[in-house]
Structure 1
Amino acid sequence: MKFDDLYYIANELNKEKVRWMIGSSVLLYFHGIVDSPNDIDIVIDEKDIMKVKDIFDKIGIEQRKEKKYPYLTEYFYTYIVRDTSVDIMCNFGLAHQCGDYRLKIDEAAIVEYRKINDYILPLSSLEDWYVLYQLMSGRESKVNMIEEYLISNGVNHYELFDRALTQPLPEAVVCNIKSLTGDKA
C-alpha cells in the first residue's frame, strides 16, 4: 500500500464531504501495532454510498468480489486506486453464533481526525476493531495485538464498548471486553 494513494483518496472523499473512516490494518499502522498495511479499508456512511461509488468509479478500477459468509456488509466494493487495493464497506456486519453484529458509523465512531501532510484522515476506534476482529475467523493475532495495545495504553472509548455490548455477541467476546474495561463497560 502506498500512503500517497491514501492521501489522494482522502482528498477526494473530503472534498465531497463524505462521512467515512479508516479501519483495519491502516488503523493498526497509525497506532504502531503493525509495520505496514497491505490495503486500505474504509467504512462509509450509508447516506454517502452512491456519492462514494461515483468517486471511486472515476479514480479507480473496480474489482469484482463475491460476498462471503459470515460477512453481512450491505455494500462492499473493492477498487484498485493507482497501486493500492481499497475495500469500501457500508453497513458493515458480521454473522456469528449469537446473531448479527453491525458496525455503526457516526460521529462517535470517528474517534480521531488525524492530519498528515495537509490531509485529514478520519480514524475509527481500536475498540470497535477489537470487537470486529474477534468475530472474524483467523484474526486472532490482530485481536491479541489490539488487546496488548489497549492493556498497555488504556481503553480510550469505553462508550464504544458499551455500544458494542448492546448487540448480540458471543460470551467470550463479552468476557474479553469486560476484562479490558473492568466495571466501566
Structure 2
Amino acid sequence: MLKRLIYVLPVLVFLALAGVFLTGLDLDPRAVPSGRIDKPVPAFALGPIEGREQGLAAADLADGRPVLVNFFASWCVPCLAEHPLLMKMAREEGVRIVGINYKDRPEDARRWLDRHGDPYTRIGADIDGRTGIEFGISGVPETFVVDGRGRILAQHIGVLTEEALEDRIRPLLKEAAE
C-alpha cells in the first residue's frame, strides 16, 4: 500500500498544480478588480503637451460632468488600435475624454495626435509616470470612467473595444450624467 502511495502521490500533486496553473491562464487580466473604484481620483497636476496651453489636474475631473480618462502614449501600438474608437466617441457621441500622455515626450505626443486626430478636451503630460502610478495603471492604454464629483467608477485595462463600451462604459457614463 505504501509503495502504491509513493507512486500515486507525485502524480496527484502534479495534476493539482497543473489545474491551478491552467485555471490561471483562463483568467482575463482586465477583470482584476481595481482598488481605486469608488474612490476620488488621486491628486495630480500635469503640464500640457507641446502645442497646448492647458494641462490637466484632478480638479478638472470634478466639474460636475462625467469623463473618460485615457492613458496613452505615442510609442504604444495598442493605443493606436483604440484611437479610432475614441475619435468616434468624442466626435459622434459627444463623450468628454481627457488624455494623460504617459512616459512620453510632449513633442512626440503632439505629432502623434496631429497625425491620428485628437479626441481629448484636455491633455496632461505624465512624463515621469508618477500620475499613472497614483492611478494604479499597469501599462497603456488604460481608461477610467470618472463621475462628475471626481470619483472613479470603472477601470478598463487594455484596448477599448466596442463590446466593452456597450457592456460597461456607456451605461456608466449615462448613469453618471443623470
- What is the TM-score normalised by the length of structure 2? 0.29
Which has the bigger relative contact order, CA under 8 A and spacing at least 6? Answer: 2
Instruction: Give the greater-gyration-radius structure (CA).
Output: 2
Structure (1/2) with the larger helix percentage: 2
More strand, by proportion: 1
